[in-house]
Amino acid sequence: MLEACQLRYAFHAQPPLFEDVSLRLGAGEWIGLSGDSGAGKSTLGRLLAGHDEPAHGHIRIDGEQLPAKGLRPVQWLPQSPELAVNPHWRVTRVLNEAWAPPETLRRAFGIKPEWLNRPVRTLSGGELQRVCVLRALAPGVRYLIADEISTMLDPITQLALWQALKAEAEKRKLGVLVISHDAALLRRLCQRRYHLENARLHAAEHYQLS
Ligand SMILES: Nc1ncnc2c1ncn2[C@@H]1O[C@H](COP(=O)(O)OP(=O)(O)OP(=O)(O)O)[C@@H](O)[C@H]1O
């Protein structure tokens, strides 16, 4: 269980972006997070993955602190994957950074063999996003923060990405927090949904997975 307890966070001397935010994400569970632009969703996602520290409150996995080094068990997948990779590396180096994704998974995530030898900067944003999602599924990863990961994809590729991720998450019992402005997407994917507004997290109604 990934647990965030009474988190408060503010940038520098600004008013708190959020306060008293608590959240629980179980193994195999999918929960959704929406909120207006600038509400603090990505910041919360970064905190949950351990990229930054809350001013107050704590984050635990099964009662333990997030590890200070090594593979992050909570992976934050940002909307702009080009910021998360070295643009000069070849695709194969990026993809194999933490583990060696098998060919079946490369195919499921729509990663073409002919991309592997190209520098990552030559991939389109949507192609690179798929590489980064698969790269993040290393053994030992237990939770994903999928922060607007399908925004730049066409509808068919979007569906294929979510199907591939859903299948792999089910197999490994990964917990997934989906951050999106797309309410229909969140309804389709997530059992529970939350809305970040006025620095607080509000629970949306429970949703029955179809
Ligand atoms: N390093 C920073 N210093 C100061 N303010 C920041 C910093 N990073 C983000 N912010 C501000 O914090 C607020 C929350 O940003 P965040 O990216 O978490 O919002 P968001 O809800 O994910 O927005 P969007 O839906 O547009 O992606 C924004 O107003 C942003 O400008």
Quote the ligand 1 centre to 38 CA distance (angstroms).
5
The domains of the chain, with CATH numbers, are 2-65+72-203 (3.40.50.300)
Q: Provide Rg for the chain, Cα atoms.
A: 17
Q: pLDDT digit of tens for each residue in the chain (210 aa)?
A: 999 999 999 998 889 999 999 999 999 999 999 999 999 999 999 999 999 999 999 999 999 999 988 899 999 999 888 888 998 999 999 999 999 999 999 999 999 999 999 999 999 988 999 999 999 999 999 999 999 999 888 998 899 899 999 999 999 999 999 999 999 999 999 989 999 999 999 988 644 433
Q: What is the pTM of this model?
A: 0.93
Give 93-100 contacts, CB < 8 A, sequence gap 24+.
94/120, 94/131, 94/132, 94/135, 95/131, 95/134, 95/135, 97/135, 98/71, 98/135, 98/136, 98/138, 99/137, 99/138, 99/139
Measured CA to CA, the distance from residue 39 to residue 190 in angstroms comes to 20
Q: Report the nearest-CA residue for atom 18 of ligand 1.
A: 40
Q: Report the nearest-CA residue for atom 24 of ligand 1.
A: 37
Start-to-end CA distance of the chain, whole Å, equals 24
In terms of C-beta density within 10 A (0-12 exposed, 13-18 middle, 19 or more buried), how is residue 68 classed? exposed
Quote the ligand 1 centre to 32 CA distance (angstroms).
18
Express each pLDDT in 131-157 by its tens digit: 999 999 999 999 999 999 998 889 988
User: Going by DSSP bridges, is the β-strand pair 175-179/192-197 parallel, antiparallel, or unpaired?
Assistant: unpaired
Closest CA to 54 of 106, 96, 18: 18
What are the beta bridge partners of residue 7? 21
Q: Report the nearest-CA residue for atom 7 of ligand 1.
A: 11
Quote the ligand 1 centre to 111 CA distance (angstroms).
31
Q: Report the nearest-CA residue for atom 17 of ligand 1.
A: 42
The atom number, within ligand 1, closest to the CA of 148 reads: 27
Strands, E assignment, the chain: 2-9, 18-25, 30-35, 56-61, 64-65, 74-77, 143-147, 175-179, 192-197, 200-203
Closest CA to 26 of 62, 56, 50: 62
Chain centroid, CA 152 distance in Å: 15
Measured CA to CA, the distance from residue 9 to residue 21 in angstroms comes to 9
Quote the ligand 1 centre to 51 CA distance (angstroms).
14
Quote the ligand 1 centre to 40 CA distance (angstroms).
6
**Residues in contact with ligand 1 (CB, 6 Å cut-off):** 11, 17, 35, 37-43
